[in-house]
Amino acid sequence: MDPLGARSRFVDIQTLPTWEQQPPPPAPPGPREPEENNDSLVSQQAFSSPFPFQPHINRKIVLFVGDVALLNCTAVVNTSNESLNDRNPVTDSVLRHAGPELQDELLKLKGCRTGEAKVTKGFNLAAWFIIHTVGPKYKAKYRTAAESSLFSCYRNILQLALEQSMASVGLCVVSTVKRGYPLEDATHIAFRTVRRFLENHGEGVETVVFAVSSEEEPVYRKLLPLYFPRSEEEERASLPLIPADIGNLEGEPIVPERRIRIAEKPGNPEEDCEEDSLDQDLAQVGQHAFSRMEGDVDKQRRLILQGHLSDAAMQKQHQRNYNRWLGRARAEDLSDIAALKAIYQTGVDLYGRTVVVVIGRNIPVSIIDMEKALLYFIHVMDHVAVKEYVMVYFHTLTAEHNHLDTDFLKKLYDIVDAKFKKNLRAFYFVHPTFRAKLSTWFFTSFSVSGLKEKVHYLDSLRQLLTCVRPEEIDIPPFVLEYDARVNGPYLSSRSATL
């Protein structure tokens, strides 16, 4: 305990500025191209950031340069080894400030596995609790396993905090130098895991403090804007720097080819019953995912072509195929396709459904790699299509080299996940030509099923804005100008603001 009148060595997190309160760095000086010289969406990102500007989340984030053991919060994190006897700067400080009682408590825990998290009291710390975790040892050969383990560390820490009503958590850098994990790679995983957790369960955690050393601070300060942008401008500036692999909705690394899960006694029901007949026992065989694996891929494809494969088997085959495309989309460099700014997510329609805009004139079909374009579409739309959405296709001023081939559209429709088709509620075709209407009618009538009734032809923006409010959709300037010229200056005042 500190002597009466002496300044406490502990740091009250309430006195630390939140990430929201730390202003973004000023833009570098230099000439900017006037927006009026761009007749396409120069200032508009091709799609919105998967980590959009959220002030209420930024208010929960604190970046602290100092000793995590000195934080006065509900819980602080200690990173150790499997025996919980590691000697590293974080552990040494926690043990020194907590006192000898912590060492006795750690012996009772009987170790901790990599990726797990365990709780003890804080003893002489200002924090009430200490959450102990074990980060993975990093080897490039086993990078995927290390990523999954590190995600589990952060996720289990936050889950414990939520379950035990810990309002604030001080997070040290879990991947110690001794474990060999590259700091920047580890920081990406830490940030996206915390971000996703606060998005999904943020009501239970008030503050997350990233406690770093002076050597670690530059990396943390550089990457924080990618996952916690402090303004829409910072969100747009950070978007090109976000890695292609951002994990699933929880931030967990996705490895499609490793989604086999083997349960204990896969052929048996959860509750054994001696009165069950042999037929009932045999009925359980093949019900588990592991038992349903197809061994001969060529045979499966041959059965598909011959029309002999069951609907369930075809659905599994389709899902595997989509997962392969999604994995490629997340791994490949698609920056050249993104630069076209041909597809982006904007606001919501009158029913609260996400609006995705496609600009036909920005798709140079004859000169781009259409397979990469397909991958980019999957990359953009995978997280959008998990809930209801609508698409707005601006056919305005498209030329011959902008028309998408029906074979490409059919391939795209066949590849995408079932959620794309189920959750698409409307397809608004703006400024269609007679030829475009005819091609679309043939395509939706004879090539695909279930899409025809969702297509709506709109000859003017006035019609579109009966479905989507003007403030919820970003319309390219050339579309506004064309519509004003053809249908009257209904949106001329709005066009001047874009």
Q: How far apart are CA 184 and CA 181, in angstroms?
A: 9
> In terms of DSSP bridges, do strands 354-359 and 343-348 run parallel, antiparallel, or are they unpaired?
antiparallel
The answer to whether 131 and 77 are in contact (CB under 8 A) is yes
Query: Which CA distances in Å does 267 have to 54, 279, 286, 290, 295?
Result: 47, 13, 7, 10, 18
Homologous superfamily in CATH for domain 337-495: CRAL-TRIO lipid binding domain (3.40.525.10)
CATH of 11-24+38-241 given 3.40.50.2020, 3.40.220.10, 3.40.50.300, 3.20.190.10: 3.40.220.10
Per-residue pLDDT of the chain (498 residues; tens, 9 = 90+): 444 444 468 999 999 999 999 887 765 555 444 444 444 443 444 457 899 999 999 999 999 999 999 999 999 999 999 999 999 999 999 999 999 999 999 999 999 999 999 999 999 999 999 999 999 999 888 888 899 999 999 999 999 999 999 999 999 999 877 889 999 999 999 999 999 999 988 888 999 999 999 999 999 999 999 999 999 999 999 988 998 888 888 888 876 544 444 444 444 444 444 444 444 444 444 444 444 444 455 555 555 555 555 667 767 777 888 888 888 888 788 888 888 889 998 889 999 999 999 999 999 887 888 888 899 999 889 888 889 999 999 999 998 777 777 777 888 888 888 888 899 999 999 999 988 888 888 778 777 777 889 999 999 999 999 999 998 898 999 999 999 999 987 654 443 333
Sole residue written with tokens 């509900």: 74
Cβ atoms within 10 Å of 153's Cβ, excluding its own: 27
Tokens coding 443? 């395509």
Q: Tell which residue, 432, 346, 443, has the closest CA to residue 389.
A: 346
Burial of 236 (0-12, 13-18, 19+ CB in 10 A): middle
